[in-house]
Amino acid sequence: MITKILNSPMGQMISTWRMSEEGLRLGNQILQEKDELGEAIVRAVKCVEDNPAYVSVGYGGLPNREGQVELDAAYMDGDTLGTGAVISVKNLKNPIEAAYRLSKKKTNSILAGDGAMKYASYEGLPCRNMLTESSRKRYEEEKKEQMKEEERRAYEGHDTVCIIGRSRKGSMACGVSTSGLYMKEPGRVGDSPFIGSGFYADSEAGAAAATGMGEDIMKGCLSFAIVEKMRSGLPVQEACEKALEEHWRRLERRGYTNRGMSVIAMDNQGNAGAATTLDEFPFVVAGKDGCRLYVASMDQETGEHFLFAPDEEWLKNSKSD
Ligand code: ASP
């Protein structure tokens, strides 16, 4: 097993899923050239939010049961612990930008629905109809399918873009953005915009973020659990595996089935780690030597965790988001 992916004294980043690759490249360039952590993370997340090809984040995101795209985003500054989040926002072009600005406020920093949109409009942030024509078509088709079923099923493609970064001075931060579960009930919120569940950053210890079934991730405040393990001295990869394992077993004892949870983390020295309960979870690591895709995996029979660098064959056969 690879336990240390990249170790460099330079500012570094780690992100979830293949969809984050282009954004991470951009963010890493900003970090390497200017050492501007907030800008690097926000630009990286925006790059994913703006791309309609990525159907689980931002523009062209997965609609709820009523055909509306409802988005959640959050940002945490690991120096100040300042946290901002917007929850269930519709038609906001870049939810991460609003979350970033809110993270600088000492009160009223987590806003939902209309309140979040009022704030965004006050700040002059751009709005846009987030439902693309292809999202609308997919929604119409899914609706027809679901009418045939007794129980609504959550589409399997839901994901969150999570970006963690560390500056040369050792500041850490984290940004996340998602449209949540496909065909969710209007107003449903997952782990992503909740501090400690979907993300956590503390420059004194490290940062972590999660993606997967939010209702399950939240039951263990998974991101906070990983950071606390790093704080108590566990190496980043072990912290990811141990926190996820303990949480997954806790759920399993209660009769839950594995609906997929994946995590990324970075310690306060810039070492990166990741773990998953899925067969495969792609993530990207960037540093002064460039950007590279890795895959975390869990053996479904033994529960053993692995990390590997995918080859050409894997890249050709796996989905691009
Ligand atoms: N965690 C997100 C949510 O539950 C979705 C995901 O990351 O797959 O809203």
Rounded CA-CA distance 135/129 in Å is 12
What does pLDDT average to over the chain? 91
Tell whether ligand 1 has an atom less than 6 A from the beta carbon of residue 211.
yes
Q: How far is the CA of 159 from the centre of ligand 1 (A)?
A: 5
User: What's the confidence (pLDDT) of residue 47?
Assistant: 97
Q: How far is CA 220 from CA 62, 264, 311, in A?
A: 25, 15, 34
**118-124 contact pairs (CB < 8 A, 24+):** 119/86, 120/86, 120/89, 120/92, 123/98
Residue 319: pLDDT over 80: no
pTM value is: 0.93
Tell whether ligand 1 has an atom less than 6 A from the beta carbon of residue 276.
no
- Report pLDDT digits (tens) over 222-232: 999 999 999 99
User: What's the confidence (pLDDT) of residue 263?
Assistant: 97
- Cβ neighbours, 10 Å, residue 300: 11
Encode the chain in three state secondary structure: CCCCCCCCCCCEEEEECHHHHHHHHHHHHHHHHHCCHHHHHHHHHHHHHCCCCCCCCCCCCCCCCCCCCCEEEEEEECCCCCEEEEEEECCECCHHHHHHHHCCCCCCCEEEHHHHHHHHHHCCCCECCCCCHHHHHHHHHHHHHHHCCCCCCCCCCCCEEEEEEECCCCCEEEEEEECCCCCCCCCCCCCCCCECCCEEEECCCEEEEEEECHHHHHHHCHHHHHHHHHHCCCCHHHHHHHHHHHHHHHHHHCCCCCCCEEEEEEECCCCEEEEECCCCEEEEEEECCEEEEEEEEECCCCCCEEEECCCHHHHHHCCCC
Tell whether ligand 1 has an atom less than 6 A from the beta carbon of residue 159.
yes
Q: Atom of ligand 1 at shortest distance to CA of 213? A: 4
Tell whether ligand 1 has an atom less than 6 A from the beta carbon of residue 180.
yes
Quick one: average pLDDT of 56-69? 87
User: What's the confidence (pLDDT) of residue 238?
Assistant: 94
Tell whether ligand 1 has an atom less than 6 A from the beta carbon of residue 181.
yes
User: What's the confidence (pLDDT) of residue 153?
Assistant: 55
- Report pLDDT digits (tens) over 86-141: 999 999 999 999 999 999 999 999 999 999 999 999 999 998 888 888 888 888 88
Tell whether ligand 1 has an atom less than 6 A from the beta carbon of residue 192.
yes
User: What's the confidence (pLDDT) of residue 156?
Assistant: 61
User: What's the confidence (pLDDT) of residue 149?
Assistant: 56
Rounded CA-CA distance 126/134 in Å is 22
Tell whether ligand 1 has an atom less than 6 A from the beta carbon of residue 158.
yes
Residue 1: pLDDT over 50: no
User: What's the confidence (pLDDT) of residue 148?
Assistant: 57
- Report pLDDT digits (tens) over 140-175: 887 877 665 544 555 566 899 999 999 999 999 999
Q: How far is the CA of 71 from the centre of ligand 1 (A)?
A: 11
Q: How far is the CA of 166 from the centre of ligand 1 (A)?
A: 24
User: What's the confidence (pLDDT) of residue 3?
Assistant: 47
Q: How far is the CA of 190 from the centre of ligand 1 (A)?
A: 6
Q: Token pair for residue 133?
A: 């024509």
Rounded CA-CA distance 8/168 in Å is 10
Q: Atom of ligand 1 at shortest distance to CA of 260? A: 8
Rounded CA-CA distance 298/245 in Å is 10
User: What's the confidence (pLDDT) of residue 210?
Assistant: 98
User: What's the confidence (pLDDT) of residue 248?
Assistant: 95
- Report pLDDT digits (tens) over 2-61: 444 544 434 599 999 999 999 999 999 999 999 999 999 999 999 999 998 888 888 888
Tell whether ligand 1 has an atom less than 6 A from the beta carbon of residue 160.
yes
To the query of whether residue 257 is one of the catalytic residues in this protein, the response is no
16, 83, 160, 178: which one is catalytic? 160
Q: Atom of ligand 1 at shortest distance to CA of 217? A: 1
Contacts of 223 (CB under 8 A, 6+ apart): 196, 197, 198, 199, 200, 208, 209, 210, 263
Residue 206: pLDDT over 50: yes
Q: How far is the CA of 278 from the centre of ligand 1 (A)?
A: 14
The residue among 217, 156, 164 whose CA lies nearest residue 192 is: 217
Q: How far is the CA of 198 from the centre of ligand 1 (A)?
A: 8
